[in-house]
Structure 1
Amino acid sequence: MFASSSAWARRIAVAGLAAAAMGAWAEYPERPLKFIVPYAAGSGVDVSMRPVADAMGRELGQAIAVDNRPSAGGIVGTQAVVTAAPDGYTVGYGNLVTLSINSAFFSKLPYAPAKDLVPIGLISSNAYVVIVRKDLPVRNLQELIAYGRAHPGQLSVGSPGIGSAGHLTGELLKAETGLAMVQVPYKTGTQAVGDMVNGQLDVTIENIAAVLPFVQQGRVKAIAVTSAKRASVLPEVATVAESGVPGFDVVAWGAMVAPAGTPRKVVDRLNTALRAALADPAVLRAYAALSVEALPSSPEELSALMKRETPRWAEAVRRAGVKGD
């Protein structure tokens, strides 16, 4: 039986709309994009993302404006990405904290990263480093462990807040080594390092880029890096794994995400542009200066990383016995 003329008309109309939609996506992007960064302007994350946004903009032929939305451990900015239109014109920065740790730490997180965000790709990674005050009589992690055992309850470890990556990395290290340290939370890692320089704090675990100048100036001592391989900027400093904790590997990774529902063709276009940006000489120069490693990936690789990291940090939160509001 042949379809009626009205049915044919409907089919033709639907086909026309589909063709128009495909044409529209083929021309994407037609206007500037917004890149929401859930950290303050001038922060380490912000400084490292601006060269990427510029390079991606050149690749896409449209400007990408960085929109800083700091507050609440990255929740405010991430929520702004989640609630944005899934049309490819709003993307966001996500990382170890916003895409993995917060899911375990906060009991009432207003979004589920795996459900409410679409992975575009990884951007970067850099290790944390265990540093101690310059006059603490230890030269490496094994000596720190021995010192802690010889002086129970006397070692203090600072972090940029309960539930932060630095805090929970310390909890993982304590669980793996039996190292006993008294937790001292600060509002920022900078404050913790400042107290260490002044001799008021024994240990902290911070992003290498944030503390490298203090290490190079001899104001603090670096005794171990948390990544699986040594850091190129601190080649003489052993990894935690080399120091007697096999398999220990913690890095501060960053990524680009978009609102759930963003079309796959758009995600692929953004991923291609992101990969090109991470190979851009200007970006690589900036990253070298910041001790950051470019880490391009597929959307699927980012998704797999999130699935691996989230339960790992949930266990760290459980061990620490802490919880956000």
Structure 2
Amino acid sequence: MLKKLLLALSVVGLAAGTAQADDYPSRSIRFIIGFGAGGNADTVARILAEPMTKSLGQPVVVESKPGAGGNVASDFVSKSDPDGYTIQLMVGGHAVSAALYKSQPFDPLEDFTFVSTIGQFPFFVAARAGAYESIEDVIAKAKAAPNTIKIGHSGVGSTQHLSGELLDLETGAEFIHVPYKGGAAAATALLGGEVDLVIDTGTVISPQADAGEFDILAVTSKDRWPSQPDVPTLAETVAPDIDIVSWTGVGMPAGVSGEIADKVRASVHAALAMPDVAERISALGARPSPSSGEDMRGMIARQIEVWKKVVEASGIEKR
């Protein structure tokens, strides 16, 4: 009798879950971002929200919950009902935070359902025009005179900062890492001669490179980047194991049904297939990169391990 009752309850639960997925969505969906309005995360979320609203048939409403490098938003999403009505615009900092914080109020992998990446983008190493012949020249001079060449970045614990620290570890060179309040400030410091190099995104570096003020010496991705095909990678020049590509993506709370996650994923992929959406994502310096949830999770897990090693080896103080 007990076995029959448990079987009946499981059948009822399965039927209820299927019905919920069939009806999904029946109301508006909150699209949570962990940063303030007007930034790149907000822009990406709004680029996707419009076509997703049309394909899902319900409003997808962007909502900002800034703080702690995106952790406030991640905590909120991880503790939300897994009913599909709360989704998150995740960024590469999700993996960095897992390495940088002593503890977090959520598990960066187990407390989320990963839906799909949206876009991927590398970082570029740039110098003032004519300052160095190549990235090989930079590394040779940094090894010959340790702690004399300064790399500007967008803040302690940023992905740009950790990328510079990884360059130290992989090449044996020793740089001075100088934090600024954002990539634009670091680029201005490079123009003014306060630092010798900057590591940042194409959107930060390209305007000065196009104006002839910066030389782009290398890209952090394993393969050359389509927008800068003549720029060599760090992997092919001075650091064979470096492959740094940051990203944006969509996540949901753990426990969301596979059917609902599939519907959201299909909506994200359909949006990224639209030429105007792809063009707007590309204009932000990213390459539209739809993926499976499994691939997104695997990528994040690998990045967490890389950044943990960098934080430990470089002696960065955990928060």
TM-score, structure 1 as length reference? 0.91
Q: CA RMSD in A?
A: 2.2
Q: Which position in structure 2 is the counterpart of 1:188?
A: 182
Q: 1:95 aligns with which of 91, 101, 119?
A: 91
Q: Which position in structure 2 is the counterpart of 1:214?
A: 208
Aligned residue for 1:257, secondary structure, equals: strand
Q: 1:110 aligns with which of 84, 105, 128?
A: 105
* Unaligned 5+ runs, structure 1: none
Distance 2:41 2:17 in 1: 36
Q: 2:143 aligns with which of 142, 149, 155?
A: 149
* Cα drift, residue 12 of structure 1: 7.7
Distance 1:24 1:239 in 2: 48
Alignment identity in percent? 31
Aligned residue for 1:113, secondary structure, equals: coil
* Cα drift, residue 17 of structure 1: 6.6
Aligned residues: 318
1:285-305 Cα offsets, whole Å, 9 max, x none, are 112322211111111111211
Distance 1:258 1:178 in 2: 40
Note if contact 2:282-2:288 (Cα within 8 Å) is conserved in structure 1: no
Aligned residue for 1:258, secondary structure, equals: strand
Distance 1:50 1:58 in 2: 13
| Inter-CA distance 201–58: structure 2 relative to 1 (3 Å threshold) | same
312-321 or 210-219, which deviates more: 210-219
* Unaligned 5+ runs, structure 2: none
Aligned amino acid, residue 75 of structure 1: N
Aligned amino acid, residue 261 of structure 1: G
Note if contact 1:133-1:201 (Cα within 8 Å) is conserved in structure 2: no
TM-score, structure 2 as length reference? 0.92
**1:38 aligned to 2:26?**
no
Q: Which position in structure 2 is the counterpart of 1:65?
A: 61
**Rg comparison, structure with higher value:** 1
Aligned amino acid, residue 108 of structure 1: S
Q: 1:24 aligns with which of 15, 20, 23?
A: 20
Q: Which position in structure 1 is the counterpart of 2:120?
A: 125
- Matches for 1:128-139 after TM superposition, within 5 Å: 128-134=123-129, 137-139=131-133
Q: Which position in structure 2 is the counterpart of 1:47?
A: 43
Aligned residue for 2:230, secondary structure, equals: coil
Q: Which position in structure 2 is the counterpart of 1:324?
A: 318
Note if contact 1:124-1:255 (Cα within 8 Å) is conserved in structure 2: yes
Note if contact 1:35-1:90 (Cα within 8 Å) is conserved in structure 2: yes
Aligned amino acid, residue 315 of structure 2: G
Distance 1:323 1:201 in 2: 23
Note if contact 2:201-2:285 (Cα within 8 Å) is conserved in structure 1: no
Note if contact 2:153-2:180 (Cα within 8 Å) is conserved in structure 1: yes
Distance 1:219 1:116 in 2: 45
Distance 1:121 1:69 in 2: 21
| Inter-CA distance 17–224: structure 2 relative to 1 (3 Å threshold) | closer
Q: Which position in structure 1 is the counterpart of 2:163?
A: 169
Note if contact 2:31-2:45 (Cα within 8 Å) is conserved in structure 1: no
1:116-145 Cα offsets, whole Å, 9 max, x none, are 11111111101100011335x203210111
Note if contact 2:149-2:196 (Cα within 8 Å) is conserved in structure 1: yes
Aligned amino acid, residue 226 of structure 2: S
* Cα drift, residue 14 of structure 1: 7.8
Distance 1:221 1:70 in 2: 34
Distance 1:13 1:248 in 2: 52
